[in-house]
A = this chain, B = another copy of it.
Amino acid sequence: MDLLKQRIVENGRVLPGNILKVDSFINHMIDPQLFMEIGKEFATYFSGQPIDKVLTLEVSGIGVAVMTGYILQVPVLFAKKTVSKTLSVDCYETDVFSYTKNTTYKVRVDAKFLEAGERVLIVDDFLANGQAMFGLIDICNQAKCEVAGVGIVIEKGFQPGGKQLRENGYDVHSLAVIDRFDDGKVVFR
């Protein structure tokens, strides 16, 4: 997606440790016009099949998921990282290991919001090691839902998540795949 790659080049910043900061338009400040275009792109790519629901996890997947669900005209569900007193006890739960924080956290979805047989499109802003995506896939499996595909805004192609998801048969559509960082500059695949 050229519009996105252009914004990454113009407004992204590469920090030491292969960290790409896109906080000025994706995960702290959000450009809603760009997010609408991202939603349209996901909806178009996955349009050849029925989709019943868009699934993401809090926090930074929500904006993109809402736009995608708006275009597809289906509900958006976000998995929660914290237990709130309003979350039902009857929920699907899975462990997600975070390499960034070197810790395992749980994500949960209220069981009544995923029905057996539903076709679920999973979306998120970043894909690196794929732990969060495999967590959401596990939740879909527990609910006996089918994963229609995985839509990713930015994939770090030099980390194994995308490869592993594709090897497992999932249709992963990443709008910008970063091959490597070269002297502080982003090189797309």
What is the interface of chain A, defined by CB distance below 8 A to chain B? 15, 19, 21, 23-25, 27-33, 35-36, 58-59, 62-63, 65-67, 69-70, 73, 75-78, 80, 85-87, 100, 109-110, 113
Contacts and interface: CB of A to CB of B under 8 A. Distances in A.
Given A28-B77, A28-B87, A63-B76, 19 more contacts: A19-B85, A23-B86, A23-B87, A29-B113, A30-B76, A30-B77, A31-B75, A32-B66, A32-B70, A32-B73, A32-B76, A33-B70, A59-B62, A59-B78, A62-B62, A62-B63, A62-B66, A63-B63, A66-B67
A21 B62 CA distance: 19
Contacts of A66: 30, 32, 35, 62-63, 66-67
Closest 8 CB pairs of A and B: A32-B70, A32-B69, A30-B76, A63-B66, A62-B62, A58-B59, A29-B77, A29-B113
Q: How many identical subunits does the complex contain? A: 2
A16 to B, nearest CB: 11
A63 B66 CA distance: 6
Interface of A is mostly: mixed
